Amino acid sequence: MKYQTGKTGRVVVARFEDHEDVLANLVNIAKKENIRAGIFYIIGGMREGSIVVGPEKDVIPPAPVWKELKESHEVVGLGTIFYQGDDPKVHFHGAFGKKDMVKVGCLREKSETFLVLEAVIIELEGINAVRELDPVSGLTLLKL
């Protein structure tokens, strides 16, 4: 195990409008506000998205299993923001529900707001973590 200690900095509250890209908005806020490390909470609606719901088998490197959100879903989730090179990299896990069906996974690629989505971003100060490509897993992992 590796870890660092820090403290909380600024808090950003954002409202994403219908059809806006959730992941791109989080990245844009992190860039504009120079948030180098942070945690965020999301609540609201998503119109569509692509999520990874686990690996096909428990082997390294893992082969992801993809599920598509092709219609509106309620969403609640949390994630982290750390830089990979010159750009913020968002890692977001959430629960996505529609009627009596719920999916849980890691949101990647497509991510479109339905009606409204709220985000609360908490800056972490004193943390010198980055994301780097891990050659063994093929994933972009947190490096402390």
Q: How many domains does the chain fold into?
A: 1
5: in domain: no
Which residues constitute the domain of residue 47? 10-143
- The answer to whether position 124 is within a domain reads yes
Instruction: Identify the CATH number of the domain in which residue 35 sits.
Output: 3.30.1330.80
Token pair of 60, please?
Answer: 């390294």
- At 25-35, the pLDDT tens digits run 999 999 999 99
Q: Is residue 29 part of a domain?
A: yes
Average pLDDT along the chain: 96
pTM to 2 decimals?
A: 0.94
Q: Is 107 domain-assigned?
A: yes
Nearest alpha carbon to residue 80 among 133, 47, 124:
124
- Check whether 20 has a pLDDT greater than 90: yes
Confidence of residue 109 (pLDDT cuts 50, 70, 90): confident
Helix (H, G, I), strand (E, B) or coil at 72: coil
Residue-wise pLDDT for 49-75, tens only, equals 999 999 999 999 999 999 999 999 999
- Asked if residue 2 belongs to a domain, the reply is no
Name every residue whose Cβ is closer than 8 Å to that of residue 144 and which is 6 or more positions away in sequence: 2, 3, 4, 128, 129
